[in-house]
Amino acid sequence: MASGASVRFGEENKLLAELHRQPMVTHILSTLDNVRQSLLSETLHIVVVCEAPRVERLAQDAGFDTLCAPHPLQSDTVRDGLSYLLSCHGALDGCMFVAADQPFLTAESILRLLAQFAAEPSHPCRLAYRDDRITPGNPVIFPAAMFDALLSLTGDHGGGTLLKDKKPAFVFVPDKRELLDIDTPADFDLF
């Protein structure tokens, strides 16, 4: 999910702002490439839904399919990405949405999330952090039974709104920073 308007970040597209001397989006692209290389599976299909031409080029240069989506709302990105995957690949067991503004998300956590989903493919799964309480985060894997609801989302809401009445299986990350997203320049300065 790389098509947001970055409204809270200011004039600059936050995904292109430099983090550790690279555009921030390259961090999640590298993580997804590590996942892809670890699985070596033809059943994993990744599409980067983006709006900015430079983000699209970076994703394509990293070997990912891209979908240019000029609508910045989360529901648009969810609907566009899922529709694209279904049209290109037919029936899917599930769909995972990964936010491009989580630069510290690790391939290991995504692989554990995928393993949890493989064990319970009819149940949503999501990353979380546990200390004195459980803090849910992203990404989330939705089973195929939830696709119609995902394709019906509207407004600036992602699939997380569909989990209010469901109890997803949590996969816990070892470091809370993995779940942090960067929305403002102040957030960016923390890293």
pLDDT tens column, 52-105: 899 899 999 999 999 988 777 888 899 999 999 999 988 899 999 999 889 999
Q: Quickly state the pLDDT bin for 174 (edges 50, 70, 90).
A: very high
pTM of the model: 0.90
Domain borders along the chain are: 7-189
Q: Quickly state the pLDDT bin for 41 (edges 50, 70, 90).
A: low
185 has a pLDDT exceeding 80 = no
Mean pLDDT of 37-57: 86
Within the chain, how many helices (H) and strands (E) appear? 6, 8
> What percent of the chain is predicted at pLDDT more than 70?
89
Mean pLDDT of 16-25: 85
For position 190, what pLDDT does the model report? 62
Mean pLDDT of 94-118: 94
Burial 84-119 (b: 16+ CB within 10 A, else e): bbeeeeeeeebbbbbbbbbbbbbbebbebbbebbee
For position 13, what pLDDT does the model report? 76
Mean pLDDT of 23-51: 88
Crossing angle, helix 107-119 and helix 24-39, to 10 degrees? 50
| Cα–Cα dist 48/103, whole Å | 15
- Segment of 36-50, 106-120, 157-171 carrying the highest mean pLDDT: 106-120
Give me the CATH code for the 7-189 domain, please: 3.90.550.10
For position 42, what pLDDT does the model report? 67
| Cα–Cα dist 99/112, whole Å | 17
Whether residue 93 contacts residue 146, with contact meaning beta carbons closer than 8 Å, is answered with no
158 has a pLDDT exceeding 90 = no
> What percent of the chain is predicted at pLDDT more than 90?
57
Q: Which residues, at least 6 apart from 40, have a Cβ–Cβ distance to it below 8 Å?
A: none
Q: List C-alpha distances in Å: 19 to 37, 82, 163, 181.
A: 24, 29, 32, 13
